[in-house]
A and B are shown apart, each in its own frame.
Chain A
Amino acid sequence: MMKNDYLWDKTGSDPEITKLENALSVFRQKDLSPPEIGIPSTIADGRAKRPFHKLFSFGVVSFAGLTAVVFGLSIFVMIRSGNVEMVNTDLPPGVETTESISAAEVSPMPEVGSGSTMAEAPSADANKVVFASRKPAAHRKSRSRTLKNQVRHLAAENNVRLKPGVKSKVVLTEEEKYAVEQLMLGLSITSSNLKMVKDKANGIRENEISK
């Protein structure tokens, strides 16, 4: 009677099975370690010879280019739609110009400071430029340095200090002040006289109508 235990856990003895084992032992695998997976030599050689920067060149450059384009477009859109706040922190004493402009107004260059007698514009380095938008400050900082320079340049060139929600206030030079005061004085006297004549004429007319 054949013992089945030998087949399962080699306990006991079974001469038939042993005989069979011995007969088939020539086909027994000798090395039980896992086989090596070989890489074709052409592929292995190519990887070794290819420079590291070329491995990622196409993908990385494409991605970077695309990102730059998207970033640029988003800044352009923000400028077109949002407000830009420019603050000139180092204007000469007695010259302070405050007004609120949108980015659309920046490009045509307001004429503030274009007069020959206006005080000279301060250096561009003296300007602090802040972009105001609805997005958090962290986003604002990283927007664009080139635009910042452009706005700074405009601020310096136009001698303006820009803040949102502040009504326009132009501080004039002595010459301009004098000119405006004189003109206003002359116009004031003229207009009050003309108004008086007009009122009198209206009074006479009303009297005639009431009669």
Chain B
Amino acid sequence: MKPINKIHLILLTIFVSAIGASAQDARLRFDNLASLEKNASEVVEVNVDGKLLQLAKRVLLKVKDQDAQKIGKAIEGLEGVYVRSFNFDSENDYNIADVDSVRSQLSSPGWEKLARVRSKKDNQKIDVYMMFRGQDISGLAVILSEKKQIALINVIGPIDIDTLVELSGKMNIPEISISKDDDQNDN
């Protein structure tokens, strides 16, 4: 192989890697949550991407149900959904540093803060961050920590948040209450 071809190959590799890296910018790392899993009484782990996501999208679009089709359209460009949810039997049965390690990832460039909730009463912290690619949303992150609950959410790719919020609890979306009884009373 001639030297010039080698250079081309290296440049191509760098270019492809750069494209891959930019696509993964919005991806949070959920790999150091072993201690949370260990202490939690209930763990929900969701990883939907690649072929599994394509399959789900196709089903949503083909079902003749308005809500399903709305959701299907809202997530048309979605690339991945990653969720970790932990419920604990007793209050503060986890190390907040584990959550903060994920939260700190949102300080990297690209992420923009959308909402921040701090409630001393419930020891509640909610952070909503978004990443944009041009005018489109390329990533969404929600980090929630309460006395007995932690939820880490990472959505990759454009998504219609308004539609998603509007359809919350409708269709066959399983009802998973992540808010505590105390919160509901407050509301």
A residues with CB within 8 A of B: 99, 110-112, 115, 117, 167-168, 170, 172, 175-176, 178-201, 203
Contacts and interface: CB of A to CB of B under 8 A. Distances in A.
B44 A191 contact: no
Interface in B116-158: 117, 126, 128, 140, 142, 144, 151, 153, 155
Contacts of B176: 185, 188-189, 192
B62 interface: yes
Place the interface of chain B in its size category.
Answer: 35 or more
Interface in B55-105: 55-60, 62-65, 71, 75, 81-83, 85
Nearest to A110: B62
B177 interface: yes
Contacts, number: 134
Interface in B18-60: 44, 46-48, 52-53, 55-60
Contacts of B64: 99, 167-168, 170
B180 to A, nearest CB: 11
What DSSP secondary structure best describes chain A's contact surface? helix
Contacts of A190: 81, 83, 140, 142, 153, 155, 164
What DSSP secondary structure best describes chain B's contact surface? mixed
B115 A197 contact: yes
Contacts of A187: 71, 75, 81, 164, 173
Nearest to A178: B52
Given A189-B176, A189-B178, A183 B53 contact: yes
Contacts of A203: 187
Contacts of A188: 168-169, 173-176
Contacts of B83: 185-186, 189-190
B10 interface: no
Contacts of B117: 197, 200
B179 interface: yes
Closest 3 CB pairs of A and B: A168-B64, A186-B81, A191-B168
Contact of A193 (B46, B55, B81, B126): B126
A199 B117 CA distance: 11
Given A170-B63, A180-B60, A194 B53 contact: no
Interface in B159-187: 161, 164-165, 167-169, 171-179, 183, 187
A141 B85 CA distance: 59
